[in-house]
Structure 1
Amino acid sequence: MMAKPRLRHYGALAAVAWLAGCTVGGTDSPQARLTTPVTSSPAAVSTGGAAGALRQVPELPAPPATVGGTEQPVAVGDTLDISVFQVPDLSRPAQVDSTGRITLPLVGTLPVAGKPLRAVEAEITRAYGTNYLQNPQITVSVKDSVSQRVTVDGEVVRSGVYPLPQTASLLDAIALGGGLSKIADANKVYVYRDINGQKLVANYNVADIRAGQRSDPRLYGGDVVVVFSSGSKIAMQNLKEALGVATPIARLAIP
């Protein structure tokens, strides 16, 4: 039976199947659409002119709130770990509530959602230093983040949603999914990213990245990685399965 890509979860992401739908050898099957490289101009491929339409780009830009791509902003639901040097009573975890604020002893509530971690650290330091502590030394880190997760799907060993380590790359995300499956096409790995409501997608060749011929792109929370299958590998897999069934029968027929 022909293997099928395991696309789920993401509405507009199915558009890439249409983008990859150039006919091969006169075939116009769903499998052909899913295993054919995008042949339109990589500079700008769009599924339509409406806002939020999927557009293919050569490289994905970093999200605008990441301070030049170096730091992901704090989001609602994140849990921050506040450490105040030599003041253990003020050191504690603080969860960002639905209004984007955290609540701390003495200083009360502070708005943090959408701000870089270092900016939050500086704001908490000012809040304590103004009225309560002399030269406070405060460190803020992310203990748990609902926003810093990546979806890995398609032809990987274990598709799913995974916590994204700091400075994680595309190869890191594929490793979280257990690596490529036996029928994966290393040339057809797509990364999807939402930038200010615009859905962008870029195609990466994992073999080139591993060979050092292309840089390993950094991923950010909310990214989706989809690995498509290889038509030739599917055909070979089907052939092996067919031979595996046929061989015992052939042996029985031999005198």
Structure 2
Amino acid sequence: MEAVINARFLTLITLACAVSACASKPNFKPELATVAQVADTLPAPTAADAAPRQRAPRIGAFDKLTVSVFGVPELTTAGTVDASGTFNLPLVGAVPVEGLTSAELVADLRQRFARYVRDPQVNVVIDEAVSQQVTIDGSVTRPGVYQVSGETTLMRAIAISGGLTDDALKREVLIFRTVDGKRMIARFDMNAIRGARAEDPAVFGNDVIVVGSDSNRSLFKDAIQAAPLLSLFYILR
């Protein structure tokens, strides 16, 4: 079982680096690492960094949409997805849209409008994506990809995933982030954050959060040696 868990975490670290064309096994060289940010303020991604990469964006709460049906202008609706992830439309009412791509929503709405319009040609445009996707994995209760809206921090992100498991290494929580086109990694101590001894860092769309555990301690050793100090971001070479 431990071998399976260790293999999973090695894959996690590899995939996190592969997003920015890192090698299959990260080559962490502290002497070559470039400090991107020191102290409590972490570098935020640029607009280009935050854009979804090679995948269709998924709709989230508070995103702004425009839905139209060709030839039926009275059905055109521009509005905001509510906090429950639904979008209100004429005739069909509140439609669950959170987590869907625009293409998936088009297919759903064509079926719904077909009861009122013959062969409806539906178009969905995401005018403004307020929500963001964050990957949370490792020793958390519910690992997965989550939609987060507005300002989010590491503690809030961990809470969204159900909190840390009993075997989580609270002092070894990693955030992988792309800033200005460069892949970076930081290590954080949840004990220090919860005890107000360290700032709760901001989390942005496309961040990958990985929480270590006793069973994968050795796998994280190589990863975190490039970022030995809290709140130091280093470029992965």
Structure with max Cα Rg:
1
Q: TM-score with structure 2 length normalisation?
A: 0.49
Q: TM-score with structure 1 length normalisation?
A: 0.45
Larger RCO, structures 1/2 (Cα 8 Å, 6+ apart): 2
